[in-house]
Amino acid sequence: MPATDISLADLMVELGGVATRAQIVERVGRRDFDRGRAEGQIVRVARGLYAMPTVDESARTAARLGGTLALASAALRHGWAVKSVPDEPQLMFSRGRRLPPEAMAVRVHRGQLAAADVVDGATNKAMTLAQCMRRLPFDEALCIADSALRAGFPREELLRIGEAAQGPGSPQMRRVSREASGLSANPFESTMRAEVLDILGFKPKPQVTIQGQGWVVRPDLVDVRLGIALEADSFEFHGDRAALSADARRYDLMVAAGWLVLRFSYEHVMTQPAFVRRVTTDVVVRAERMREVGMRVLPAA
């Protein structure tokens, strides 16, 4: 039985446009999965991996216009989750090329691509990551880089792409390649991490194991030095009574052990980043003051 009654369409948006069959069935149930596939609400992009139908639609548009799927559209084609699925296909055309009127319905990017940079109508994985890290906002680029690592893209190659970068956007490319982690489970967690990385003195790491007397937890983000844990708290993922009870218990135990725990909803992270940063900054300042006066003694994580 699914954990919640979230719709398939909403689930795919929250998961970043792509998901495994197991993830979808766990959330909405096998009946809705089969119905959604039959009705074209999801399309198969690889073995056991499904995406929103815009992935196929974007590929058809690219072929019709003679462009190349790029940036977030290419990332989705590779089966990587994105912060937000583009409303329009993101296509790359060579500089100086005249475009037909139909190109008004797509997001046009200009650039020179070698034949080796393109695979099946999309920029290849390395080129897709390079372009995303260079051209997209930091949080969107981090979501895609995290997803690529989760899917098996070699971390060494990602670092190489970042370190070899030159020209406009290269500082961000290096930063994304260094900060990327396959441990963040989805774009929700990746975006939350992106929003708090600039907070002075805050050094959060994803999925750090914390243990206390008779309990073990793995919060989404943890700063062990300050004793701060952040949770990307989605009702769709923790929506039944048993899950709510389990969450309440572990948060209570963490607070009782001296941890400062912040829980941010999907709406907070995706639409109110200033709120997330402000609250986290206030808690970081408080934790630093508590350390100065020797008020905090936490168990080893």
Domain ranges of the chain: 8-51, 54-179, 187-292
Phi-psi region of 142 (alpha: psi -120 to 50; beta: other; left: phi over 0): alpha
What are the DSSP calls for 171-188, one per residue? HHHHHHHHH--TTS-SHH
pLDDT at 46: 84
pLDDT at 1: 45
- The single-letter code of the amino acid at 121 is G
Of 173, 53, 46, the residue nearest 120 (C-alpha): 46
Distance, in Å, from the CA atom of 214 to the CA atom of 171, rounded to the nearest integer, reads: 44
Residues of the chain with confidence (pLDDT) below 70: 1-5, 235-244, 295-301
CB contact at 8 A, 78 and 97 = no
Distance, in Å, from the CA atom of 215 to the CA atom of 233, rounded to the nearest integer, reads: 20
- Decide which of 3.40.50.1820, 3.40.630.10, 3.40.960.10, 3.90.1490.10 is the CATH code for 187-292: 3.40.960.10
pTM: 0.89
Sequence-ordered list of residues with C-beta below 8 angstroms from that of 283, at least 6 positions apart, any chain: 228, 260, 262
pLDDT at 100: 79
